[in-house]
Copies of this chain bind each other. A is one copy, B any other.
């Protein structure tokens, strides 16, 4: 098959091995589509990329204030963490802040997202439990929210629980959608997870970045202040959002406060970029949001594509490039150390704003 404009291709000795269809949307906080790839409106299960929106619903219960959660706790609410000791310890500390126990969590244990952690677990025959879930922070947050609004803690994870009703409204509002236009499935961690057009995910992240961009103001509306708190918590504690060696952590460290990035399972990704000369050059009215979905759910390819898109958009310095190179160009090396092939990006970002920037973006960077 001839790779089309929407594909990433892996090769072996120059022969096409696999190809992966890519969808992406680049928007500003008003939702204007600036660049697109594949189907930017693809109905997409955001999975854990929706966590900052779920965290906003928790912040708006005032449970975070009431139980004294700090910014690292907020970062953990937005996390798909690697179940490192620091993540598990923080989960336990958050549980004790709300006088809850591990048994109150409605998520289950699973192998760590970190191979290093997994190997250590296997060596000591450790069977991971609920506090080890990569979504543990979100779950404790939901418990805190349920308690703050005076709802039962038992069924906080069920779609008809008042806390999840708040999440549904919040997600729809951040996406500028009617609630009935957001669809819901059940996530791997057992909480409801939303699906909406991919460009709305980018819009949501642009709003997170835009709220933080207003940090000179002290009179922010409450929602914007909460969005700004989430943005800052993530950039301040990138190690809480994922873990050592993981992409989200490396990305946010490399960009040093300029953006947040979050993975969703089955290969969705969202980025919110603070307003800058670069975002305005790209046609944004301030902050920028980027969302990506690999049609087949391949996460290794996702990381490569996200990094390539940042480079195409011209918002990657040489220093940033070097920090993300291993994700951008994943090694195709065999068991004897011989390079057998690589990953290439024949796709084209389509500029959606007439006359703006499209010409330098259509061609691959190399």
List which A314-366 residues lie within 8 A (CB) of chain B: 334-338, 340-341
Assess whether B334 is in contact with A188, with CB atoms less than 8 Å apart.
yes
- Cβ-based interface call for A256 (8 A): no
Contact of A1 among B16, B107, B186, B295 (CB under 8 A): B295
- Which of the listed residues A39, A133, A297 has the most CB atoms from chain B within 10 Å of its own CB? A297
Minimum CB–CB distance from A300 to chain B (whole Å) comes to 10
- A19 / chain B contacts, CB cutoff of 8 Å: 295-296
- Cβ-based interface call for A236 (8 A): no
* Overall SS of chain A's interface: loop
Residue in B closest to A108 when the chains form the complex, CB atoms: B335
A213-B127 Cα distance, complex, nearest whole Å: 50
Contact of A15 among B18, B45, B295 (CB under 8 A): B45
Assess whether A43 is in contact with B18, with CB atoms less than 8 Å apart.
no
Minimum CB–CB distance from A314 to chain B (whole Å) comes to 29
List which A1-46 residues lie within 8 A (CB) of chain B: 1, 10, 12-21, 39, 42-43, 45
**Given A108-B334, A186-B334, A334-B190, does the pair A12, B45 have CB atoms closer than 8 Å?**
yes
Assess whether B107 is in contact with A18, with CB atoms less than 8 Å apart.
no
List which A107-130 residues lie within 8 A (CB) of chain B: 107-110, 119, 122-123, 125
Residue in B closest to A109 when the chains form the complex, CB atoms: B335
Minimum CB–CB distance from A44 to chain B (whole Å) comes to 9
Residue in B closest to A7 when the chains form the complex, CB atoms: B295
Minimum CB–CB distance from A179 to chain B (whole Å) comes to 16
- A10 / chain B contacts, CB cutoff of 8 Å: 297
Contact of A335 among B16, B42, B189, B340 (CB under 8 A): B189
- Cβ-based interface call for A244 (8 A): no
Minimum CB–CB distance from A152 to chain B (whole Å) comes to 18
Assess whether B18 is in contact with A297, with CB atoms less than 8 Å apart.
yes
A20-B13 Cα distance, complex, nearest whole Å: 24
Q: What are some 30 contacts across the A-B interface (CB < 8 A)?
A: A1-B39, A1-B42, A10-B297, A12-B45, A12-B195, A13-B185, A13-B186, A15-B45, A15-B185, A18-B295, A18-B296, A18-B297, A19-B295, A19-B296, A107-B336, A108-B334, A108-B337, A110-B335, A122-B123, A185-B340, A186-B338, A187-B340, A188-B334, A188-B340, A189-B334, A190-B334, A190-B335, A190-B336, A296-B296, A296-B298
Which A residues form the contact surface with B (CB < 8 A)? 1, 10, 12-21, 39, 42-43, 45, 106-110, 119, 122-123, 125, 133, 183-190, 193, 195, 266-267, 295-298, 334-338, 340-341
Q: Rank and list the top 7 A-B pairs by shortest CB-CB distance, nearest first.
A: A13-B185, A108-B335, A12-B185, A296-B296, A18-B297, A190-B336, A122-B122
